[in-house]
Structure 1
């Protein structure tokens, strides 16, 4: 199945005690429905999945699935453990989840053979579609194009890929695999327009957790208004990214979501709240956003 549009890598809101805030999650989902995202991606990197216990992850996926209001769900099942990823895959088989998203195991950095083995073991438990997730700056390992091709050819469940390395040469190589049954998404907001111009099917963009410029950029490009798409990319998206990147990822996204929704939110340790100067700068910028 072909996928396209803008998918939100959801934050996982927390309260002051660092516990998952389900009411705030419902607020987030309602907002994402309003701005017209194409899908929800809970428990990705922005969602801090490594900071959550396995039972918390299962409960959170259940909650998002129950409140998705018809939006597609791309459920993160990544883990340093092949067994935990397999367990999460089995859990997602019983949920109204559309696609599972799997990255290589991390910490003990795998080679390409180990990546293939990891995907093979997990896919034995996947009864739905699955996206490959390349994010070497966090996983520690690139999924090489030859490995992507082997996975694509050997497993019918694999229907797409989220690429978040920021390496456009690598991204261009992956686009050769794009087709009617394989979709490729850019995972870096500031590279969205360039990626669409090269042939990407869409983006998995964190700014949509609290703002809509990414949606407007995507629509402008699809409507053939390149001038407007360029304006939004450079004057809005890239400007917001510059502010957020002043903090350690992804704390700026959490503060922005809390600020825009007037939520007295918290941070799951070891993530820390942005310092006062960063918050002030961010809040000044956020006050100028339209949506």
Structure 2
């Protein structure tokens, strides 16, 4: 059984003006998503600015989210690292806290060969017992998970169950599904490719869009699963201008501004991310209004 099906939110991390984590606001966001149609919370991913967190902050955030979600919806913890030992330690800790799953990004900067990726993911899976979703996003990490590597890991390691595919390469994604006989839980890592990936047997999306439009993102998936392919596609296409604006600058710069425009102030970004430009703020607000999101 998949960790979740549908739309999981790659949740932002709210900060106080001094840069510390705003747990009161995070608590509000967790409640918001549990009360909406969000199907899963993914904490401490790229959108959550995990790259700027200390390990202590990272794991405190994971534990807080698991405790506050209280089993209402699944929680997947981002526990990837470019250091295998660090990824093992964080993954073990998140598993002990009760994470429903782990999201492991490929090692970044030092990267790895495909054999290195097999060794890395296998080592983490051996010690952390929660189900693992691999995360392939070469545009950020410089390291792609090839289809043959996905197939080997899914077939040979029991608790490696899925992949978040953000390569943007539909041909690669189709090859993954062919080489695994469809026996991998496939999630879109791109909000503009939800329907194409569902059509290949995907289970859903790990979504930035869900931060501002959780019900609509869920509905794209639900309509598809219920056989309303035309309705699902129509929602996907309607969302494209907004999705484009949510990535007009480096994620999560635009989505945090979008939430502020909705009246949900999640505080500043951590350096080296900086505030959105005025021109992009205006085009973002316009896309939000056209999508039907009420601004504060």
TM bracket (short chain): over 0.9
- Give the match for residue 218 of structure 1: 221
Separation in structure 2 between the aligned mates of residue 280 and residue 37 of structure 1, nearest angstrom: 27
How far apart are 1:225 and its partner, in Å? 2.3
Q: Greater shift after overlay, 224-233 or 87-96?
A: 224-233
CA contact (8 A) 1:78 1:105 kept: yes
Give the 3-state SS of the residue equivalent to 2:87 in structure 1: helix
- Give the match for residue 150 of structure 2: 148
Question: What 5-or-longer segments of structure 1 have no aligned partner?
Answer: none
How far apart are 1:246 and its partner, in Å? 1.9
Alignment of 1:85-124 (within 5 A): 85-124=87-126
Separation in structure 1 between the aligned mates of residue 197 and residue 15 of structure 2, nearest angstrom: 32
Separation in structure 1 between the aligned mates of residue 20 and residue 204 of structure 2, nearest angstrom: 32
CA contact (8 A) 1:14 1:21 kept: yes
CA contact (8 A) 1:50 1:79 kept: no
Give the 3-state SS of the residue equivalent to 1:231 in structure 2: helix
- Give the match for residue 202 of structure 1: 204
- Give the match for residue 57 of structure 2: 56
How many residue pairs are counted as aligned between the two chains?
Answer: 289
How far apart are 1:255 and its partner, in Å? 1.1
How far apart are 1:290 and its partner, in Å? 4.5
Question: What 5-or-longer segments of structure 2 have no aligned partner?
Answer: none
How far apart are 1:273 and its partner, in Å? 0.8
Match of 1:129 among 107, 128, 131: 131
CA contact (8 A) 2:13 2:266 kept: no
Give the 3-state SS of the residue equivalent to 2:127 in structure 1: coil
Give the 3-state SS of the residue equivalent to 1:172 in structure 2: helix
How far apart are 1:202 and its partner, in Å? 1.0
Match of 1:232 among 230, 235, 238: 235
The answer to whether residue 66 in structure 2 is matched with residue 65 in structure 1 is: yes
Mark the CA change 1:67 to 1:272 in structure 2 (over 3 Å): closer, same or farther: same
Give the 3-state SS of the residue equivalent to 2:155 in structure 1: helix
CA contact (8 A) 1:99 1:129 kept: yes
Q: Please list the CA deviations of residues 76-124 of structure 1 after superposition, one character each: whole Å capped at 9, or x if unmatched.
A: 1111111111110121121121111112211012111111121122223
Q: Greater shift after overlay, 217-226 or 129-138?
A: 217-226
Q: Greater shift after overlay, 116-125 or 96-105?
A: 116-125
Q: Please list the CA deviations of residues 13-53 of structure 1 after superposition, one character each: whole Å capped at 9, or x if unmatched.
A: 22222221112212221221222121111111111211111
CA contact (8 A) 1:267 1:273 kept: yes
CA contact (8 A) 2:147 2:175 kept: yes
Q: Could you state the TM-score of these two structures normalised by the residue count of structure 1?
A: 0.93
Q: Could you state the TM-score of these two structures normalised by the residue count of structure 2?
A: 0.92
CA contact (8 A) 1:178 1:184 kept: no
